[in-house]
Structure 1
Amino acid sequence: MLAFFTVIMATLVIVGILFTQFTTKMIEDNTYHQLNRYAVAVAEEAMRFKADDGSFAYFDTKGLETDASLLEQQNINFTLYNADRKLVYPETQVKETANVTNAEWAQLKQHKIIQKRGAKQANPADNSAANTMDVMKPFFDNKNKLIAVVVTRANVSTVADNLDMLRKNLLIAFLVSVVVAGMLSFILSQLIVNRLRLIQLVTRRVAGGDYTAQVEMHRHDEIGALAEDVNVMTASLAAQEREIEEQEERRKEFMANASHEMRTPLTTISGIVEGLQYGVIPEDEKMHSYDLIKSEADRLTRLVKDNLDYERLRQNKVVLKKKEFDSVPVISNLLNQLSGKADVAGDEFKLNADSPVPVFADQDRFIQIIFNIVNNAIQFTENGVITIDAWREPGEAHYKIADTGIGMTTEQVDKIWERYYKADPSRTKKSESGLGMAIIRQLIEVHDGQISVTSAPNVGTTFHVVIPDSQKKTD
């Protein structure tokens, strides 16, 4: 409110001062112009010139009495001086007129017209002295010789009174404007304050944890833009809160799974070690016990390794060693390694790649990607077929791994990239951490590649991996 009031008051004061100054200057200029014309008229009335050569002859003051009477009615009088600075009219200075000083006379002889205000009158007690305006105008003959000086004086007390009245009216208008400005400032400030209070209430609700609060405001101005920003902020906080809650649920689930999975191998290892320590395990069973200890230790190692891999990928701390190689022999070797596991599940591999399929990637990470996808297909397929297609398209290598397993619902497909998610826990081996698909996606992203999946329950699942040739980018 104070800001609005200050701006309005400053504007009114500036406009009032400028208007007063402009009006005063205009009145003064008009008065000086009028006095100058009267001086010319007086000189033309009084001066007489010779007919033969046009030189000055004499002053004729007979008609000046009439002019003086007329001008006196307008509070104007005049004085006529000759070239010797002697008074021509009036013959005796019975009326109070302006006197010409030596300095002013010197200026008049140089063709200068003098305009001044507030000449002192003979009677010092007369306060109207400051309300006079004088014009001193010189006149010359055709030989540029000074003939006469006419001094016209106007008593501008009436004009001054009018200006005083104008100032009083302006003061009254100013006071009225102050009241109106105060009211307008209060109304405008309340409109803004009410809108800001609405935003304040919403921010307090957000500070209290209510991220569903929204500012209901549709004005297209700065405050409206601020309200929109607050709404965007609350929506973002609400989304983050939901994400945090989901992550917390996954973390709890993972901790429960991890605790269970760690407890089982640790219990197994502890029991076998205790049995070996006290000699309760027969000699012919000791090698089997050692194998179990190694298997359970490997299981713990994989669990820790998967978590470390995921965190490194998520924080972009994985350094890729890319090179170009033929991916077909790599995939063939990988299928040979997994053939035993596929035989147990009754699955059959089919590799469709008639020609070499070069790929530019980190070979170890490429193997990790294909291994996880194929291993996942074996895990969810029994007595089925797992088909791997590899081919080239301009600037990129394509790989499609399709199985005829149990498939997934649309909801399951949407969640398979989430950390710790297991599509079917009953079909997932106890050594699996639920990080495989999340790691695959991260690895493909650091290769600037793409992965997509299509699936249908009881039909099967197909993964499509695209890895671009980015060798030119790295040169």
Structure 2
Amino acid sequence: MSLRLRLTLWYSGILAATMLVFGIGLYFFLNYFLYDGVKDELSQEAQITYSRVQKSVALSLKGLVVDLELENRDLYSNNLLLQLYNVKLKSLDRSVVLQLNEISLPVPPVEKFKGTTAYFEKTKVAGQDILIYYMGIYDSFNQPNELIGILEAAFPIGHYETTLLKLRYALMLWAIVTIVLAASFGWFMSRKALKPIDQVIEAANQIESGDDLEKRILYEGPRDEIGRLTDTINGMLSRIQVTYSELEEAYRAQRRFVSDASHELRTPLTTIRGNVDLLEKMWKSTSGSTELATPDQMQISLEAMQDIAGEAQRMSRLVNDLLALARADAGVEMDKTQLPVLSLVQEVVRRSQFLTRTAEWQVGDLSALEDAVVYGNRDYLQQLLFIFIENAFKYTKEGYVKLDALRSDGLVGIRIEDSGIGMNKEDVPHIFDRFYRADLSRGQTSGTGLGLSIAKWIIDEHGGSIEVKTRKDEGTTFIVWIPASFPLTV
């Protein structure tokens, strides 16, 4: 059963119950109001007639009995139907109207008057609805409280019953028409009110099929519950779209990462296999001969072994870099302690002069690092600086690479400046992406494209930042900013 139908049935049911209670209340109120007036009038007329009943003592076969008669004025009454029943004599004294129509009112049993002296009763006489008021007449001479007669005053109530019957039919018809109209109107209104729900379902179905994540629910109604629900669903759809886009980008980055890693690993493996095949051929060519290898063969063998060693070392670096990034992705926390920055940087400066390079190595002013202490990991911070220094040497064939230090508002900065090939401004946002190489030909300079990604992870773990300044063919400057404290010295 649909929500629309349930709402309509609930609405119609509540309205029907309300109409039923209202109709029954109205009917019984009017019934009581109409008959209350009739009963008052009938009882008053009966009391007057009762006071004029003539009583006389008569001799009968049963002895002395009280004879009862109506006065002439009561006999000819046109307002009431009167009948006087003598309990002892079993005789009736009726008004003229009853006599002419040869009608007698029903005589109640004497037991009806036990515990009461008068009561009302509705009945049918000669096919007509009448209301009868019965009053007991008691002996006041010989035996007090003995019922000797019954006075019956009746009034036709056919027109009242007809009115009430018509009222019942009118209330029933009105209730049916009202419920049908209300149900039709409720069905229409529920359809209009629940239309946004249908739009929500339609949008959800489209999202489920995955063909339109930009679908939104159009709602121009008031900001009621449906309006707020629509806004909530639209907000949720927006978040789903953003999350889905981020997941798609993450999947693309993962596929690109696997592809690049496979490419980087395949290159040294191809070199190693080629040189191994070469050494195997040379060994076979000399294995059955008494002559030693020629100097040219020895030189070729030496170069092949050097290539194998170099490519193996390159693969080792690549695997170490991938391991470092895997640890970063896994959320591995570094062991950190309070470190004096100056001694750490001086150690990096000393070891950097032994790196393979063609540019001049310059060390600037490091006084900004005096007394500065950082909370970090010594090995990772040194690796961070070596990454930038090695990159500077790699992309600076001639000119200089310079390192100096800065200080600013609780931060120390290590600046690595070179006069190398620089970068285009379009490359800067991507230099920290994995396997990204700013040089157009990946074989132009050696490397895996993972160094700056590792550097970014290290600086993020230390709560620092990296500032980049570069211009094509004019050089690049990296400034590594790290939070530091400066203890007071005595």
1:177, CA displacement in angstroms?
Answer: 2.4
What is the correspondence of 1:429-440 to structure 2 with a 5 Å cutoff? 431-440=446-455
What is the correspondence of 1:169-184 to structure 2 with a 5 Å cutoff? 169-170=173-174, 172-174=176-178, 176-177=180-181, 180-181=184-185, 184=188
Contact 1:390 1:400 in 2 (8 A): yes
What is the correspondence of 1:156-195 to structure 2 with a 5 Å cutoff? 156-170=160-174, 172-174=176-178, 176-177=180-181, 180-181=184-185, 184=188, 188=192, 191=195, 195=199
Change (3 A) 1:238 1:361: closer
Aligned to 1:333: 347
Deviates more, 1:16-25 or 1:36-45: 36-45
Please state if 1:23 is matched with 2:30. Answer: no
What is the correspondence of 1:7-406 to structure 2 with a 5 Å cutoff? 7-31=10-34, 33-34=36-37, 37-38=40-41, 96=105, 106=115, 119=121, 121=123, 128=129, 155=157, 156-170=160-174, 172-174=176-178, 176-177=180-181, 180-181=184-185, 184=188, 188=192, 191=195, 195=199, 198-199=202-203, 202-203=206-207, 206-207=209-210, 210-211=211-212, 213-215=214-216, 217-219=218-220, 221=227, 222-223=229-230, 225-226=232-233, 229-230=236-237, 232-234=239-241, 236-245=243-252, 247-249=254-256, 251-268=258-275, 271=278, 280=293, 293-316=308-331, 318-341=332-355, 344-354=358-368, 355-381=370-396, 382-391=398-407, 393-394=409-410, 397-406=412-421
1:24, CA displacement in angstroms?
Answer: 1.9
For structure 2, the residue ranges without an aligned partner over 5 or more in a row are 52-69, 99-103, 136-144, 146-150, 222-226, 287-291, 486-490
Look up the SS of the partner of 1:359 in the other structure. Answer: strand
Q: C-alpha distance in 2, partners of 1:78/1:443?
A: 117
Q: C-alpha distance in 2, partners of 1:211/1:378?
A: 50
Contact 1:386 1:402 in 2 (8 A): yes
Q: C-alpha distance in 2, partners of 1:364/1:63?
A: 136
Change (3 A) 1:360 1:175: closer
Contact 1:4 1:185 in 2 (8 A): no
Look up the SS of the partner of 1:252 in the other structure. Answer: helix
Look up the SS of the partner of 2:355 in the other structure. Answer: helix
Q: C-alpha distance in 2, partners of 1:272/1:427?
A: 28
Deviates more, 1:187-196 or 1:9-18: 187-196
Q: Which amino acid in the other structure matches residue 244 of structure 1?
A: Y
TM-score, length basis structure 2: 0.67
For structure 1, the residue ranges without an aligned partner over 5 or more in a row are 49-60, 137-145, 470-475
TM-score, length basis structure 1: 0.68
Change (3 A) 1:403 1:356: farther
* % identical equivalent positions: 16
Q: Which amino acid in the other structure matches residue 233 of structure 1?
A: I
Contact 2:46 2:153 in 1 (8 A): no
Give aligned pairs, total: 421
Contact 1:453 1:464 in 2 (8 A): no
State the superposition RMSD in angstroms: 4.9
Look up the SS of the partner of 2:358 in the other structure. Answer: helix
Write the deviation string for residues 107-158 of structure 1: whole angstroms up to 9, x where unpaired.
Answer: x69xxx98x9xx56376x95958xx79899xxxxxxxxx9xx9999884413
Q: C-alpha distance in 1, partners of 2:470/2:154?
A: 110
Contact 1:16 1:170 in 2 (8 A): no
Deviates more, 1:5-14 or 1:433-442: 5-14
Whichever of the two has the greater Rg, that structure is 2
Q: C-alpha distance in 2, partners of 1:356/1:272?
A: 57
Q: C-alpha distance in 1, partners of 2:465/2:312?
A: 34
